[in-house]
Chains A and B, each alone.
Chain A
Amino acid sequence: MNRTTSSLPRLRGLLQGRTRQYGMAIALVAIIILFQVLTGGLLLTPLNVTNLIMQNSYILILAIGMMLVIITGHIDLSVGSLVAFTGAMAAIMLNSWGLPTVVVVPAALLLGALIGAWQGFWVAYVGVPAFIVTLAGMLVFRGATLAVLGGESIAPLPQSLRVIASGFLPGQSEGPHLPTLLLGVAGAAMIVWIQWRSRARSRARDLPVAPVTVTAVGSALMVATILAFTYVLADHNGLPLVGVLLIALIVGYAFVMRSTTMGRRVYAVGGSERAAALSGIRTKRTTFWVFVNMGVLSALAGLVFTARLNAATPGAGTMFELDAIAAAFIGGASAAGGVGSVVGAVIGALVMGVLNNGMSLIGLGVDWQQLIKGLVLLLAVAFDIYNKRRVGGSTPIMPKLRSHRRPSPEP
């Protein structure tokens, strides 16, 4: 009995500061259950789950990059136009210039990097607000897309490109897809191993750890989720290739942001640029590279979107920037910078994606979909602010107002 009572505050301590992420994860589960019921089980059919991944892949890719930009305290409004422009250039390289896909893909990513460098230069080294630079970029690259496409679409595209967005892991055609299942089991084992190893390391150093039961329940939930997910996918065509790409991106970026000095510098620059500069962090360089990264991820999203559409169109990617920004904020970013996580961005993007998909399945029109998504964004952020104010957490949106409501330290 004693054990459990003493472990409760410890657990709360471990959860603290991540209320928004946990809150949104719970909200995501709630939304999934809600639509699963409303659609009479259609939402979680193998076919629809596969569709969900494919439909939202480019927004997820953009949301990861956008999260980094927002953590540094900036914003990028140009990603939708970049998706269109890089997609258009890829299509031109493939269809008009006849270049092979293995050359076009890196070339398109390089183009994205160059555009990111161009924007990063103005933001980091000249000091033009990112809002302005990327608003300009939004217009410039939309115009450039129209110019290179001559106002027309390019289609169809070679199968070698389309496979990026529509291909699956190779495997047998009969029964559940074995490679997907194996991958799922391996992934689950890996996560459990990492969780318990880090717990053991903390113990060895005499640091506070969650009670065994909590870690065990956490591991069990993780394993169950992964296995259920892979089983559902395996029941259709297996894991889509774009799913492999997404997993690699999410794991890679989450690792960089959480566990490397590079990630720590990005947070520091966003948290206080001047304090970061006086701590020996090259803040301009950091900001510059965050924009280069956004450019590369925009190009990647452009390739995936173009491949999925099997066409490069002048209007591609319109409003993608807003979906990506909304995903980041729903997932726990702060407009002031310095706060947010890659996993949060993914959860935010999935909330939006499931809402889109679920509402379409039950036959709600685009009008209602937009309205509801807007309210979800507003409520998610409002809930977070309310929550922080209550527990006296970190980021003040209106410092004046806040200081009246909590015990402020004496000056």
Chain B
Amino acid sequence: MSTVNTTPHTPGPLLRMSDIRKEFPGVRALDRVSLDVAHGSVHALMGENGAGKSTLMKVLSGVHPAGSYTGSVEVDGEPRAFADVAAAERAGIAIIHQELALIPQLSISENVLLGHEETRYGVIDWGATHSRARELLLRIGLDENPALPVSALSIGAQQLVEIAKALAKNVRLLVLDEPTSALNETESERLLELLLDLRDQGVACVLISHKLGEVMRVSDEITILRDGRTVETLTVERDAEGRPSVEEDRVIRGMVGRDLDQRYPEGEGTIGPVRFEVRDWTVDHPTQVGRRVVDGADLDIRTGEVVGLAGLMGAGRTEFAMNLFGRSYGRYVRGSLSRDGEELRVGDVADAIAAGVAYVPEDRKSLGLVLDDDIRHNTTMAALGRISTRGVIDPGLETVEARWMSEHMRVRSHGVDQTVRTLSGGNQQKVVLGKWMFTRPELLILDEPTRGIDVGAKYEIYLIVRRLAAEGACVLLISSELPELLGMCDRVYAMCEGRITGEVAGADADQETLMRLMTRTGEKK
């Protein structure tokens, strides 16, 4: 690759943050953290949830203004103190948050050049604005009409628009917080390629990500934070075949402060006979008439078995699971769900819960929890019958049960009175799991249970799933991460375009076989 560096480099790093300390009431979020980012490099920032990555980036980008922290920030060797986000942007530093900051109703150009429109005497010159926007879109390789509203784009494309918006401000250092967490594989790939391109154009990048694979692929340096401190900075060299010089295990060790000898716990229980059978499950799209999203899905789950469901975005996994769970998504066409050979009536979610089915949704914040309520109420929400007699709740019993479940799930909180919004992602997920465990499910459907969760919490969630299965529950695990499916499941079904395209036993499964099944399209029955 040819390097086209346009900015003249001063010797030394582009960014040097040293001895940063930041405290919140009762919490020391950052404790003498240092970070150097070299010109034209991709620098990954890794750490568990709560390690201080986001806080550090907020200090850098002016969200936490100068004066609210101690330590120094230097850009090109010059000490800087950003009073707000705009000041950081003027210095060429832009941050792209997980939640995109685009205005969906406005066009791509309007979004990209928001606040930087081409004007003449204060009047927007739309011709010039559109052509400037198109230039920026070309630079990020997004071939869309700049007059399209942003809401018409996929999440992946929106992410690119967000980057174009940063480029419009002549950014030199781009901070991306979990940019690929909502993207599918192709989109992620495209985004990572773009980061490498930008690097070669002289735009450095700080990448916060939980996905080790992508970090290993693109980063030149990796800084690991733990408990608000810098653990180490690793330089990644690549050999001729692009293999990184740093081992993934080394990074994990740095993040969790201990060796994770296995990333997936072993199953302990024995697998019994077939418990749940799904036959010919067929679902139509909720609004587009006649569009099949799940087409004649058959699957079996045995007692004590963890069954995986693999598929790419749009394969219909979530649609299948949600429709199975009391028809909570889409239009049910036909299909039967039976337990021990007896057909279950699951007309709505309440029926499904009564039949012993539980669904832990992918989007825990909006589908799994009432964020402004406490752990206790969230825990009992789906099984109020267990803490009440004739409709009257026993508050003491509720507290006792919620405490027990919270401990059982190892939720780190300062009590069941804590509002779930203030918990970290991993702990929120444990509360959701606890909520569904409280319904005493026989079939537990987990939809991307570890998305956006750090390595340590992931392992705890795997342990919980394993323990459940050992206790005789049936688990259906939906995941986009093939290693997770291979590590956790006794059997994996693959789905593509709404159909189950194959089934692989855990022992014979490998990523290639699954991927082949997941992409087996176009077969008509």
Extra inter-chain contacts (8) besides given A271-B370, A410-B48, CB under 8 Å: A207-B399, A261-B392, A264-B381, A271-B372, A280-B348, A409-B423, A410-B50, A411-B54
Cβ contact within 8 Å between A274 and B367:
yes
Interface residues on A, range: 35 or more
With A280-B382, A282-B348, A411-B452 as given contacts, are A205 and B393 in contact (CB-CB < 8 Å)?
Answer: no
The answer for the CA separation of A264 and B392 in the assembled complex, in Å, is 10
B82 to chain A minimum Cβ distance, whole angstroms, is: 13
Interface check B289, CB cutoff 8 A = no
A279 contacts B399, CB within 8 Å? no
22 contacts between A and B (CB under 8 A): A13-B417, A205-B396, A205-B400, A259-B392, A261-B392, A265-B384, A274-B367, A275-B369, A277-B349, A278-B359, A279-B435, A282-B350, A336-B372, A392-B25, A407-B29, A407-B55, A409-B49, A410-B49, A410-B51, A410-B424, A410-B425, A411-B177
In the complex, are the beta carbons of A280 and B370 less than 8 A apart?
Answer: no
Contact of B24 among A261, A395, A407 (CB under 8 A): A407
- A6 at the B interface (CB under 8 A): no
Beta-carbon contacts under 8 Å, B391-422 to A = 391-393, 395-397, 399-400, 415, 417, 419, 421-422
Q: Contacting B425 at CB < 8 Å: which of A198, A259, A409?
A: A409
Please tell me if A17 contacts chain B, counting CB pairs below 8 Å.
yes
- State whether A410 touches B395 (Cβ < 8 A): no
Across the interface, do A338 and B370 meet the contact criterion of CB distance under 8 Å?
Answer: yes
Residues A17 and B381 in contact in the complex (CB < 8 Å), given A207-B399, A280-B326: no
Asked if B160 CB lies within 8 Å of chain A CBs, one says no
Q: Which of B25, B328, B393, B415 contacts A277 (CB 8 A)?
A: B328
User: How long is the Cα–Cα vector from A33 to B479 in the complex, in angstroms?
Assistant: 63
Query: Which of A201, A268, A275 is most buried by chain B, counting CB atoms within 10 A of its CB?
Result: A275
A151–B377 Cα distance when bound, in Å, is 51
Q: Does A39 contact B (CB under 8 A)?
A: no
Q: Is A276 an interface residue (CB 8 A)?
A: yes
Q: Is A95 an interface residue (CB 8 A)?
A: no
The count of chain B contact residues (Cβ–Cβ below 8 Å) is: 62
The answer to whether B178 and A17 touch across the interface, beta carbons within 8 angstroms, is no
State which residues 424-459 of B face A: CB under 8 Å: 424-425, 435, 452
Query: Is A410 touching B367 in the complex (CB atoms < 8 A)?
Result: no
On whether the beta carbons of A202 and B396 are closer than 8 Å, the reply is: yes
Given that A201-B396, A395-B372, A410-B51 are contacting pairs, would A274 and B391 also be in contact in the complex, using a CB cutoff of 8 Å?
A: no
Cα distance, A278 to B364, chains bound together (Å): 11
Q: Contact: B178 with A411, CB < 8 Å? A: yes
A408 proximity list for chain B (CB < 8 A): 54
CA gap between A69 and B361 in the complex, in Å: 28
A130 within 8 A of B: no
Known: A202-B396, A274-B366. A262 touches B372 (CB 8 A): no
User: Contacts of A262 on B, CB cut-off 8 Å?
Assistant: 391
Most chain A beta carbons < 10 A, residue from B326, B328, B385, B422: B422
Q: Is B98 an interface residue (CB 8 A)?
A: yes
Q: What 1/0 flags go to A114-151 for Cβ under 8 Å of B? A: 00000000000000000000000000000000000000
Which residue from chain B places its CB closest to the CB of A272 in the assembled complex? B370
Residues of A within 8 A of B422 (CB): 392, 409
A338 touches B373 (CB 8 A): yes
B361 to A, closest residue via Cβ: A278
Chain A residues with CB under 8 A of B177: 411
Q: How far is the CA of A57 from the CA of B377 in the complex (A)?
A: 33
Q: Is there a chain A Cβ closer than 8 Å to B184's Cβ?
A: no
